[in-house]
């Protein structure tokens, strides 16, 4: 018989209902084992009739379940046996959890300390770098100053103190060939707030002052050695105190030092 005809005969429904005799029963069971289509048909029939009958069940009190279990002496024996074991396990578990937490706390602390140390070290490092840069700048300034002083091509012009400040003095290192001018202003007092020294190259006949620069950042310059603009053919140098930014022509009342080449 063809599988579909077999299914459509309705024998599988009677099989699920339990209405077949033993021989028929074995035959269907054998068919189900050999034929997946038959097997899945049986499962579907079972689902539908189980669903239908379940839906028509009157209210079933939970007492029945308890009573059956009592009759079968099905108790939660396994669970009870497990109780002491699980207690030990529980303690071990808690202990492990606590240890883990302490470990976490310790590690967290360590990491914090380390990162603080890193910050401190970073700060020190940048301070050291600043110090290094500062000393490199100083070194450069010293070298520059020495180079200027040692340069045999330079003519040293001593500028003496004038009426407004007789104690002041300054030196000008003047290279006549290249016209470069350096000013050693170590003998000048600190300029007051809002004032700045201005350096003038002078021609004497007639007396013509030409501004060759300001001694800016006077306080910050440790060696008071300043490079100013070139001055070709200068016959003398003068330094006056002028308002910040300098003046077009020297304020003669504030002439601090003056000297001839």
Interface residues toward another protein, by CB under 8 A: 8-11, 13-19, 25-26, 28-29, 42-61, 64-65, 67-69, 71-72, 74-76, 78
Q: Which is nearer to another protein, 72 or 220 (CB)?
A: 72
Q: Which is nearer to another protein, 7 or 255 (CB)?
A: 7
Q: How far is the CB of 60 from another protein (least distance, A)?
A: 5
Q: In 10 A of CB 176, how many CB atoms? A: 14
- Report the greatest alpha carbon distance in the chain: 148
Q: Which is nearer to another protein, 11 or 261 (CB)?
A: 11
Q: How far is the CB of 89 from another protein (least distance, A)?
A: 21
Closest alpha carbon to 215 in 202, 199, 231, 201? 199
Q: How far is the CB of 85 from another protein (least distance, A)?
A: 18
Contact 7, 38 (CB under 8 A): yes
Q: Which is nearer to another protein, 47 or 110 (CB)?
A: 47
Contact 237, 184 (CB under 8 A): no
Name 170's bridge partners: 159
Q: How far is the CB of 17 from another protein (least distance, A)?
A: 5
Q: Which is nearer to another protein, 45 or 159 (CB)?
A: 45
Q: How far is the CB of 52 from another protein (least distance, A)?
A: 6
Q: Which are the contacts of 239, defined by CB distance < 8 A and separation ≥ 6?
A: 159, 170, 183, 185, 188, 197, 198, 199, 200, 215, 255, 256, 257, 258
Q: Which is nearer to another protein, 57 or 177 (CB)?
A: 57
Q: In 10 A of CB 164, how many CB atoms? A: 15
Q: Which is nearer to another protein, 13 or 151 (CB)?
A: 13
Closest alpha carbon to 141 in 258, 227, 239? 227
Give the number of residues written for the chain.
261
Q: How far is the CB of 4 from another protein (least distance, A)?
A: 12
Contact 181, 228 (CB under 8 A): yes
Q: How far is the CB of 6 from another protein (least distance, A)?
A: 12
d(C-alpha 189, C-alpha 191), whole Å = 6
């Amino acid at each position: 018989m063809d599988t579909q005809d077999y299914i459509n005969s309705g024998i599988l429904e009677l099989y699920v209902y339990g209405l077949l005799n033993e021989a028929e029963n074995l035959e269907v069971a054998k068919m189900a084992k050999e034929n997946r289509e038959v097997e899945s048909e049986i499962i579907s029939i079972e689902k539908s009739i189980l669903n239908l009958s379940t839906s028509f069940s009157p209210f079933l009190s939970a007492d029945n379940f308890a009573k059956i279990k009592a009759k079968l002496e099905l108790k939660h024996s396994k669970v009870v046996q497990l109780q002491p074991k699980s207690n030990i396990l529980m303690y071990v578990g808690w202990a492990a959890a606590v240890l883990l937490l302490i470990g976490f706390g310790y590690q967290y602390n360590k990491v914090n300390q380390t990162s603080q140390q890193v910050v401190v070290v970073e700060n020190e490092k940048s301070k050291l770098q600043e110090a290094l840069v500062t000393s490199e700048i100083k070194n450069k300034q010293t070298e520059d100053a020495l180079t200027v002083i040692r340069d045999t091509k330079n003519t040293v012009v001593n500028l003496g103190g004038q009426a407004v400040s007789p104690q002041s003095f300054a030196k000008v290192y003047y290279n006549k060939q290249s016209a470069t001018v350096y000013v050693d202003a170590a003998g000048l007092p600190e300029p007051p707030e809002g004032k700045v020294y201005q350096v003038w190259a002078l021609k004497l006949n007639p007396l013509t002052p030409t501004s060759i620069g300001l001694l800016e950042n006077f306080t910050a310059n440790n060696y008071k050695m300043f490079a100013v603009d070139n001055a070709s053919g200068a016959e003398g140098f003068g330094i006056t105190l002028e308002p910040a930014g300098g003046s077009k022509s020297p304020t003669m009342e504030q002439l601090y030092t003056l000297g001839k080449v």
